Structure 1
């Protein structure tokens, strides 16, 4: 088998120095002498035939070649950590799944999707991280995540080699606390003209469709709040600040958890749910379980 000839110990020292910006600080973290680290960096430069670090003021920063090497090191040593987690899991019998959840995705939908991982023969340990869509995609591309759950597909033509898998979709319903529901339920949706509405921000995949739906029905609601985080939006809705849309698939959960009532149906409005995966030769069994989720399962409406 052909090998690169790289000494990965030398590569790890380069990675640490590039992160710390100093041989001294990296040596302290590694518990080694400064001369030892410096000598092995020099040996790495000889191995690759070019300098990977250069001084910039008091810091050491990657050269152009060093920046390329650093990007690979990020993946190499992250995968090393994941390998260690996987090996540790052989003792406990658990499989680790690191999931990125878009802040715009309803948390109850995320829960239903992840339920599929609990049907495997091996127990799955979930590590769930919430962030903005673009940040999650970057982490996925660096193999920091196994999968991203979100409400939008990745646009084509980007530099990231990640792929969108439509898991399901659901039409929308409008909810509100009892006093608001009773007031605006009659003559819905015409009743929404001037009604207090809580909406996702304009960078949300659903927002454009909601605005178009208002235009279609000739109503101009009073938008009293816009939210990036879906859970925050629902919290304000539960406390009576305004009416809010939610997936039909979640009707019972929404009514019970937030003590709200149905105002009306908006079948023309549909919310989509995606799993975003990267290009891996070894597919994660728990990711496969999520991708196999059927439309009539976690998204069956009431």
Structure 2
């Protein structure tokens, strides 16, 4: 008696369950001819007919019905095994609690956290966004594993934690193609009296932007201040004004928001920090974030 071919058994079982070679082929992502050929090979190896024609339909023979009982047990047990394995893997997936300061650009936060969910033993992310001082209080109570911020924790805080600089980069001015066409010319002079969107006063880089404008003798029309960088980019995408964002994210920002880069401002430096309770970075997820920042995003 030849060894049982489980691939053939799966094809036979699918045809028996769907009642049609065409439906089985669709479910198996094969052609009907391929499924029919596999069924014929299976019948030849067993030495029995499994299906018989009834008009345009097919139905199981007595032998086919007997085999179906065993096939049901085999594949139902296999599905139960896979369910149990998935439950086991889900139970092993630990929660990684990340605080993200609301002033950190969302596109940078995503790029930093992406490698954490792609680890060999991936984590389940629990992200909280808020003001840095509130996140620090959560970190002190061990309700967070790490904080991503656009500034270091101040020396005046009583919380025992450590700042880890992930990287720094300059900023780029972005705007819609229509704005770029209207305010064309040499950069940054083209921004004179142009509508401009800037981060709110809680964002660490706002002061640097205003100083750059003053030193460059630029007088754009500030049409809005935004604590939420994503909201500022939404206004920028709608053409409300030019805006600044990290140069390291230039391709992503242009693609996501349908804008163009007007000019780079390397003198305005935006910094991104990790803040942790531990002095050394030992957690695999935190190490993945740090390595991605240093070797990819801010390289």
TM-score bucket (shorter structure)? 0.5 to 0.7
Residue-by-residue CA offset, 1:161-183 (whole Å, 9 max, x unaligned):
12111001121110011111122
Q: Give the equivalent residue in structure 2 for 1:202.
A: 201
CA 1:292–1:223: 2 relative to 1, 3 Å: same
Unaligned runs of 5+ in 1: 1-87
Shift of 1:293: 3.6
3-state SS, counterpart of residue 123 of structure 2: strand
Shift of 1:229: 0.7
1:269 has 2:265 as partner: no
Shift of 1:121: 2.4
Partners of 1:282 and 1:182 lie apart in 2 by: 47
- Paired residues of 1:89 and 1:95 also in contact (CA < 8 A): no
Give the alignment of 1:1-302 within 5 angstroms.
Answer: 92-279=91-278, 283-300=282-299
Unaligned runs of 5+ in 2: 1-86
- Paired residues of 2:281 and 2:287 also in contact (CA < 8 A): no
CA 1:128–1:176: 2 relative to 1, 3 Å: same
Residue-by-residue CA offset, 1:225-282 (whole Å, 9 max, x unaligned):
0011111111111111110001111111111111111111111112111111114899
Partners of 2:261 and 2:157 lie apart in 1 by: 40
- Paired residues of 2:117 and 2:125 also in contact (CA < 8 A): no
Shift of 1:141: 1.1
Partners of 2:222 and 2:280 lie apart in 1 by: 47
3-state SS, counterpart of residue 295 of structure 1: helix
Residue-by-residue CA offset, 1:4-28 (whole Å, 9 max, x unaligned):
xxxxxxxxxxxxxxxxxxxxxxxxx
Q: Paired residues, what number?
A: 213
Structure 1 runs of 4+ off > 4 angstroms?
88-91, 280-283
- Paired residues of 2:112 and 2:293 also in contact (CA < 8 A): no
Partners of 2:291 and 2:91 lie apart in 1 by: 26
Partners of 2:115 and 2:158 lie apart in 1 by: 30
- Paired residues of 1:104 and 1:228 also in contact (CA < 8 A): yes
User: Aligned-residue CA RMSD in angstroms?
Assistant: 2.1
3-state SS, counterpart of residue 123 of structure 1: coil
Larger Rg: 2
3-state SS, counterpart of residue 297 of structure 1: helix
Partners of 1:291 and 1:261 lie apart in 2 by: 29
3-state SS, counterpart of residue 202 of structure 1: coil
Please, what TM-score do these two structures have when normalized by structure 2?
0.66
Please, what TM-score do these two structures have when normalized by structure 1?
0.66
Partners of 2:108 and 2:246 lie apart in 1 by: 9
- Paired residues of 1:161 and 1:279 also in contact (CA < 8 A): no
